[in-house]
Homo-oligomer: A and B are copies of this chain.
Amino acid sequence: MKMNATPVRGTKDFLPLEVEIRDYVREKIETTYKAFGFHKINTPIMEDIERLNKSDGGENLSMIFKLLKRGQKLDLTKENLNEDDLVDSGLRYDLTMPLSRYFANNRQNLTMPFKAIQIDKVFRAERPQKGRFREFYQCDIDIIGDKSVNAEMELIAATTSALDSIGFSDFTVRINDRRILTDMILSAGFDANEVGSVCIIFDKLDKIGMDGVKAELLEKGYGESVVAKFMDIIKDVEGDALSAAEKYCSNKDVVLDLKKVLDFANSISNGKFNAVYDKSLVRGMGYYTGMVFEIVSPKFGSSVAGGGRYDEMIGKFLGESVPAVGFSIGFERITTIMFEEKVSIPTKEKVILICNQDDDMVEVYNKRNELMEKGMIVSVLFRSKKLGKQMDGLISLGYSKACYFDTGDFKELS
């Protein structure tokens, strides 16, 4: 009998060369974040189902993979069973909720401000499509316990450095503040409880333009005069956009801080990126409370990194408010493009040591060791009628030299 060998729907096997690129990118990003004084942490993939369901995950909550209860906890004889009877835990859908829980659970052992690195797997039951998987990596840094904009500046410096370290430049950091956005919407005459849904439409400004935003707002049933006022405000906030936006924002410090961050980012960019105020930047997550940012690059259809301040989330676990801000790099997107574009990454010299089945294996081992100690990666192959095919396979994995055990001679491969 032959069993089906395809991975579960929406998941993927990674080939050696893909893993090599992924590990390279991860290592470069991690090294950069560590140099900035961030510390890597590790949380379980499994989370309590109640915590997951009550978290601020927006539409992600409908995509949680749930784990069946075990043993006596699972009672299938009960009448009118529902999902809550069947599950007690699930797989995390992001790394921000687990980080908040982690901070609350380990606070007494953590240094403040706490600067965390997380590069780990998350799970979402998304409709599978090209480049979107149900099991994928997120790559986050967060600063917990710093309410000043120093935290935002640090995240932007570290994230842009990390992108630079893997060869990405010529990108744009877009920055906005939820409080400016909210005040602009309120200034137009929308109700406070309408801000969320107006944001969702306004977020599309880049794609559908002014007319599109107007049409969607009217379609949604908002009054013509309110929508017209909002369109006037949007038009007003062009050109030197931020100073115009200032008019509508009730808290002037918010604008000053945003300006400080923009100036900082442009001063450290070294020509590799630029930072701009983006009046329509929303970043989907409901938990953001202040500044939000994303990084876009002509290389990518959509954003390559995104984040923002979420000062209320950790309070849910701690029972007291703790400021927090995070920035996440689109690890899957970046590594997929690098693999498709066959970006070559630095690697040690790879050598095939060719010997015979009846050679003394201890001597072969010693020769191999001698090459390894020179920093080479060494695969041993035995002379046989399969040798040519085996060598071709290794060449495709980046092996560039053969070393003959009997003579010690080297030969370039290609």
Contacts and interface: CB of A to CB of B under 8 A. Distances in A.
B121 A5 contact: no
A159 interface: no
A192 interface: no
A102 interface: yes
Contacts of A76: 81-83
B12 A40 contact: no
A132 to B, nearest CB: 14
Given A1-B316, A46-B135, A377-B34, A112 B386 contact: yes
Contact of A357 (B89, B148, B157, B357): B148
A37 B390 contact: no
A319 B2 contact: yes
Interface in A22-44: 22-23, 34-37, 39-44
Interface string A70-93: 100010100001110011010100
A3 interface: yes
Contacts of A378: 35-37
A294 to B, nearest CB: 21
30 contacts: A2-B316, A2-B319, A3-B316, A5-B101, A5-B318, A7-B101, A11-B44, A12-B44, A13-B43, A13-B44, A13-B102, A14-B41, A14-B42, A15-B106, A15-B109, A18-B42, A35-B348, A36-B379, A37-B380, A37-B394, A46-B135, A67-B91, A68-B87, A112-B386, A112-B389, A115-B379, A150-B382, A260-B361, A264-B361, A264-B365
Interface of A: 1-8, 11-16, 18-20, 22-23, 34-37, 39-48, 51, 54, 65-68, 70, 74, 76, 81-83, 86-87, 89, 91, 101-102, 104-106, 109-113, 115, 121, 123, 125, 134-135, 148, 150, 153-154, 157, 260, 264, 267-268, 316-319, 348, 350, 357, 361-362, 365-366, 368, 372, 376-380, 382, 386, 389-390, 393-394, 396-397
